[in-house]
Amino acid sequence: MNAEQLEKTFQDKVDAEIRIEPRDWMPEAYRKTLIRQISQHAHSEIVGMLPEGNWITRAPSLRRKVALLAKVQDEAGHGLYLYSAAETLGVERETLIDEYLYGNAKYSSIFNYPTLNWADIGAIGWLVDGAAIMNQVPLCRCSYGPYARAMVRICKEESFHQRQGYEIMLTLCRGSEAQKAMAQDALNRWWWPSLMMFGPHDSDSPHSEQSMKWKIKRLSNDELRQRFVDVTVEQAHFLGIAIPDPDLRWNEERGHYDFGPINWAEFWDVVKGNGPCNRDRIRARRKAHEEGQWVRDAAMAYAEKRKARQTAAEAVASPTPVATYS
Ligand SMILES: [Fe+2]
Ligand SMILES: [Fe+2]
């Protein structure tokens, strides 16, 4: 088959909702797009542990500590599944990690905001994990098999994350005036950065159209953001706290909430590395990576030792057959 035929067979498969698997032919641009998207997603999961990990020791009760510890650990797991999914596209995990620690690979801008108090942990679970679910549920139907399958488990865990955050918010909102004020303050600070998590408007998102055609992406940035606003506003009403947007109102005609303009200058500034915590986050990740080198070395040495032992045991169990002549 020539290149054109290969491309057509590929697109026909995608259109027929047949999953693309690692050994299948795929356009180079499809492979590159997926490597970029999956690795950015993996980096985000790993960096995402930092703002919350910081609060494990300060969680207000043992129950909260256990839940937060489990959540942060889940995020590490998400990063690992996603690096594995990216590796099926023929790229080494070390290369990807190097690109984000020492190069300029991106991760979600939301993790460059600081967590100032306990209410922020509630707001992150509710809003950030809530936005992640909105983004990730459609990815369970992504055309690339390993990515889609990784997303199934990730989404189940994200839903626990969202609920633990919302429960923290609910507890604060039903507590003292000061606690409710903490919840409101956290919502004020996390609301807009959460809306930015869906990325630029569709009209400013050059890769989106191709990704939709390849069925990597199923819904546009603006559609996802709208869905998020619609469900989250109702949840804020239930909590009894206000979304910090004077333009927010129900639009009967559209059947959706209208909301005010997003500060895109802030978004791009954070993406470019000038958010409140960009430098801290990278510094912390580099330190963890470098100080963890001995752990990776030890794990490799142990794996090799086990393999050598297994090979020796197999050789004893089934000695090389001696040729017989008759
Ligand atoms: Fe996650
Ligand atoms: Fe999560």
CA 217 to centroid of ligand 2, rounded, Å: 20
CA 125 to centroid of ligand 2, rounded, Å: 7
CA 120 to centroid of ligand 2, rounded, Å: 14
CA 158 to centroid of ligand 1, rounded, Å: 6
171 burial (CB, 10 Å; 0-12 / 13-18 / 19+) is: middle
Which ligand does the CA of 75 lie closest to?
A: 1
State the pLDDT at residue 205.
Answer: 83
Query: What sign does the dihedral 11-16-19-21 (CA atoms) show?
Result: negative
CA 155 to centroid of ligand 1, rounded, Å: 8
Residues flanking ion ligand 1, Cβ below 5 Å? 45, 75, 78
Does the pLDDT of residue 314 top 70, yes or no?
A: yes
Which ligand does the CA of 71 lie closest to?
A: 2
Query: What sign does the dihedral 208-213-215-220 (CA atoms) show?
Result: positive
pLDDT digits (tens, 9 = 90+) for 6-32: 999 999 999 999 999 999 999 999 999
Residue 156 corresponds to which tokens in the numbers above?
A: 């189940």
CA 193 to centroid of ligand 2, rounded, Å: 16
How is residue 323 annotated by DSSP?
A: P
CA 79 to centroid of ligand 1, rounded, Å: 7
Contact 165, 126 (CB under 8 A): yes
CA 47 to centroid of ligand 1, rounded, Å: 10
pLDDT digits (tens, 9 = 90+) for 154-206: 999 999 999 999 999 999 999 999 999 999 999 999 999 999 999 999 888 87
Query: Is residue 320 very low, low, confident or very high in pLDDT (cuts 50, 70, 90)?
Result: low
Residues flanking ion ligand 2, Cβ below 5 Å? 129, 158, 161
CA 41 to centroid of ligand 1, rounded, Å: 9
pLDDT digits (tens, 9 = 90+) for 112-165: 999 999 999 999 999 999 999 999 999 999 999 999 999 999 999 999 999 999
CA 26 to centroid of ligand 1, rounded, Å: 27
Cα-flanking dihedrals φ and ψ of residue 8, to 5°?
-70, -45
pLDDT digits (tens, 9 = 90+) for 243-284: 999 999 999 999 999 999 999 999 999 999 899 999 999 999
Mean pLDDT (whole number) for 50-54:
93
Does the pLDDT of residue 326 top 60, yes or no?
A: no
